[in-house]
Amino acid sequence: MLTTSIAKNLNEKEKLKPRINSWFFCAFYPLIYICNMQKLLAYPLTIIYFICFGLTLVIFHPIQWVCNNIFGYKAHKVSVDCLQFFLLRCLNILGTRFTFTNPHNIEKGTPLIIVSNHQSMYDIPPLIWYMRKHHVKFISKKELGKGIPSVSYNLRHGGSVLIDRKDALGSIKAIENFAKRVSKNNWAAVIFPEGTRSRDGNPKPFKTRGLLSMIEHAPNALIVPVTINNSWKTLRYGKFPMGLGANITYSVHKPIPIDEYEDKNELVKIVEAQVKRSIVV
């Protein structure tokens, strides 16, 4: 009797399997269909995006040259700000949206060290655009200083610093000089202490040497922690096609005066914790 009962229960479970599979298929098929359709749509939209993106860079390269060489730094900065505006409009083609939350009234004319996580190259235009009153500059690898219309020109002539990551001592010296310029001119320096981009949004440990050098040589600056979310989703399929509909968010945390902390290593740990605490994966 026991054997018969077990066999009966097993038969009933086997009969339920097709129903369970059917329910699973019905529940998730629309989602699978939408995801596949979204990726298919991404191909033509990515091509349109690349055309608009490339044209924008090519058009603004001579504009930057004229502004910088004839009218000087202020005109060049305006041209760079306008470039970022149009780059953001290019990303709108992919359905990309931007939410920039900054509840803090950071005064102009104050040197800033903006410390952020790094998820993709598309982190950069919104930072320049939304923080434009602070004259945003970057620490970039030297390879970006040539070959990219508009971008390379701005990195070489707009006040940013290019470093050779294979030359540790030379890089630190370059960052020290950069920090002094930031402090003197009341600019905002953006540093991504992770060193490389996160491919899936998960943060990497901070490499603190460059940041500590910035803090040491710009002691009058405010540190502004910033958390970026969802930028990696623009590259969820790789470089082609690009991801659609990402809502890239920027959360600006409370600025921290450097001189409030004697232990700079402790300050860096606090900043790292602030940045990472708001990352959503």
Q: How confident is the model at residue 166 (pLDDT cuts 50, 70, 90)?
A: confident
**Least-confidence region, from 32-36, 99-103, 130-134, 234-238:** 32-36
Look up the pTM and report it: 0.85
b/e sequence 80-95, b meaning 16+ C-beta within 10 Å: bebbbebbbebbebbe
Residue 19, pLDDT above cutoff 60: no
pLDDT digits (tens, 9 = 90+) for 199-220: 888 999 999 899 999 999 999 9
Residue 28, pLDDT above cutoff 50: no
**Fold for the domain defined by 98-277:** Glycerol-3-phosphate (1)-acyltransferase (3.40.1130)
In terms of pLDDT, which residue wins out, 156 or 33?
156
Q: What residue segments make up the domains of the chain, in order of their start?
A: 98-277
Q: What is the pLDDT of residue 12?
A: 54
- Rounded to the nearest integer, the mean pLDDT of the chain is 88
Q: How confident is the model at residue 69 (pLDDT cuts 50, 70, 90)?
A: very high
Q: What is the pLDDT of residue 76?
A: 98
Q: What is the pLDDT of residue 10?
A: 44
Decide: 171 and 164 in contact? Cβ < 8 Å: yes
Decide: 264 and 215 in contact? Cβ < 8 Å: yes
- Mean of pLDDT values over 171-184: 94
